[in-house]
Structure 1
Amino acid sequence: MKAVVYEQYGAPPAVTEVPAPVCPPGSAVLEVRATGVCRSDWHAWRGHEPVPLPHVPGHELAGVVAEVGTGVTRWRTGDRVTVPFVCGCGTCAYCVAGDAQVCPHQTQPGFTGPGSFAERVAVAAADTNLVALPNSVDFVTAASLGCRCATAFRALTAHGRLGPGDWLAVHGCGGVGLSAVLIGVALGARVVAVDISAAALDRARALGAEHAVPADAGTAATIRELTGGGAMVSIDALGSPETAAASVRCLRRRGRHVQAGLLLDGPTPLPMDVVVAHELAIHGTHGLAAAGYPPLLAMITDGRLRPELLVGRVIGLADAPGALVAMDHPPVGAGMTVIDLSADRRAAT
């Protein structure tokens, strides 16, 4: 099959022929129809996160079941599916409870094994990890859910418990942040978007943010003033000491901070005096398990949520290596890039 492969960290990726994946017991092999190009794929390619080399990237995918292994009971060939970026083992207490996103034995296509920048990809524990796609949701839209939209959805619903009329502050308007803006608006919240980029703030306004605030030392105070006392829910969608602290400080009393952005640069001091005095809640968030997808898909099928608005460019597999390398200098506010393998198949026939 064709796949994008890089031999070493930072080495030029290329489309090449590789062996098609096998289908172990309990697993499924998917024919990939669309897959997102994510900043996390770039981090792995650059060596910021260890992956087995040579490597096939890609973890935001949708497609059709091509083969099922022995023991799989919920799926058959031809089923339209998507996959969380965190896949559980299917048997531990966390997976049984529907919390595969924190499975201690988790796998991640495109990180722990070959990913979806390929014509086919294998998914372990298929009965736990595959998500049925409604016919009304096309493959490019499904791939755009990926880790960004799905992560933002669980952050705001499970952890933030965001409701209509609540003020939501979104710190960092990249992929996760703009997804949070879009979802927050769909949930009926009033959104304040924060970023250093004017283009990103313009994009947040276009998606429905009521206020767009340039990030600086006074961000938290500005949000408290705009919202009449602070946000009820605030999310750090970037991941820096400054954005994490600002997210906590902008909350109203008994508000909820959700940390979605990875904090990779060592310890991050938070204003715990404010956390204690104002009885704030602090949550981490790590993706969305397959069991959590139905409410997200329901919002898409009934038209409340339009994740396709986050897609900026649709390309073929041949252009995927260049798209990955281009993330060295990604354009701000341009929307996500999705690889459409269905278009490649149509062109081939």
Structure 2
Amino acid sequence: MGQVMRAVVFERYGEPAEVREVPDPEPAEHGVVVRVEATGLCRSDWHGWQGHDPDITLPHVPGHELAGTVEAAGSRVTRWRAGDRVTVPFVCACGTCPACAAGDQQVCERQTQPGFTHWGSFAQYVALDHADVNLVAVPDGMSSATAASLGCRFATAYRAVVQQGRVAAGEWVAVHGCGGVGLSAVMIAAAAGAR
């Protein structure tokens, strides 16, 4: 990593963003810095840009759907090292609160969200906290663009269709609104054997 990176930055809500040079992130002791290879654009990013999210402080770098390669790891990270290909869920968990202990990391009481609680993936590098809890290995042969869609679109649809809806083979599933999450829900329902 150099001392500066290129990133998409906005300084005022709802006004044009621009690509500029900003300081490289540093990994926390429990975190990593990932070199971004692919990032998605989500409706949530638009809401953040509009000022609808109280976690965002200006200036800001958006982006939360990402995949890339670990560039640097903090001293307390045990499962990941430079060169590992990874993606991450939209909600990054702390791993120790009661919600995390119950297996509900998606509603972690101390969650962080790249592109919201801190600078995100519309940049060359992004810092991610609690790497041992949050990072997911990207298998060989999977493109970074495909992997970048998993942490938000597919994770959201999976929770809705499988965990909450408990879809079973042969059941009918109707999806109203087939954007990124809706199309993911269709694929997940079909994979579960639904009609």
Task: Pick the TM interval, shorter chain.
Answer: over 0.9
Q: Partner of 1:145 in structure 2? A: 150
1:176 aligns with 2:181: yes
Deviation of 1:19 (Å):
0.2
Structure 1 contact 30–122 (Cα < 8 Å) conserved: yes
Structure 1 contact 23–68 (Cα < 8 Å) conserved: yes
1:44 aligns with 2:87: no
Q: Partner of 1:91 in structure 2? A: 96
Q: Residues 118-133 of structure 1 correspond to what in structure 2 (within 5 A)?
A: 118-133=123-138
Q: Residues 275-294 of structure 1 correspond to what in structure 2 (within 5 A)?
A: none
Cα distance in 1 for partners of 2:178, 2:49 equals 23
Cα distance in 2 for partners of 1:79, 1:161 equals 33
Deviation of 1:43 (Å):
0.8
Which structure is higher in helix share? 1
Cα distance in 2 for partners of 1:34, 1:92 equals 30
1:135 aligns with 2:140: yes
Q: Partner of 1:29 in structure 2? A: 33
8, 20, 34: which one aligns with 2:12: 8
Deviation of 1:130 (Å):
0.4
Q: Partner of 1:198 in structure 2? A: none
Larger Rg: 1
161, 167, 179: which one aligns with 1:162: 167
TM-score normalized with structure 1 length: 0.53
**Structure 2: segments with no counterpart, 5+ residues:** none
Deviation of 1:70 (Å):
1.1
Percent identity over the alignment is 64
Deviation of 1:173 (Å):
2.0
TM-score normalized with structure 2 length: 0.93
3-state SS in 2 of match to 1:2:
strand
Q: Partner of 1:104 in structure 2? A: 109
Deviation of 1:146 (Å):
3.6
75, 80, 90: which one aligns with 1:75: 80
Cα distance in 1 for partners of 2:102, 2:130 equals 15
Cα distance in 2 for partners of 1:150, 1:177 equals 12
3-state SS in 2 of match to 1:168:
coil
Cα distance in 2 for partners of 1:46, 1:40 equals 10
Structure 1 contact 36–146 (Cα < 8 Å) conserved: no
Aligned amino acid, residue 35 of structure 1: T
Q: What CA RMSD, in Å, does the superposition of the two structures yield over aligned residues?
A: 1.1
Q: Which structure has the higher relative contact order (CA within 8 Å, separation 6+)?
A: 2
* 1:298-326 deviation line (CA, Å, top 9, x unaligned): xxxxxxxxxxxxxxxxxxxxxxxxxxxxx
Deviation of 1:99 (Å):
2.0
Cα distance in 1 for partners of 2:75, 2:83 equals 17
3-state SS in 1 of match to 2:174:
strand
Cα distance in 1 for partners of 2:131, 2:58 equals 25
Aligned amino acid, residue 79 of structure 2: R
User: Which range moved further: 172-181 or 20-29?
Assistant: 172-181
Aligned residues: 190
Q: Partner of 2:118 in structure 1? A: 113
Cα distance in 1 for partners of 2:11, 2:32 equals 26
Q: Partner of 1:347 in structure 2? A: none
Q: Partner of 2:67 in structure 1? A: 62
**Structure 1: segments with no counterpart, 5+ residues:** 191-349
Deviation of 1:72 (Å):
0.7
Cα distance in 2 for partners of 1:183, 1:127 equals 26
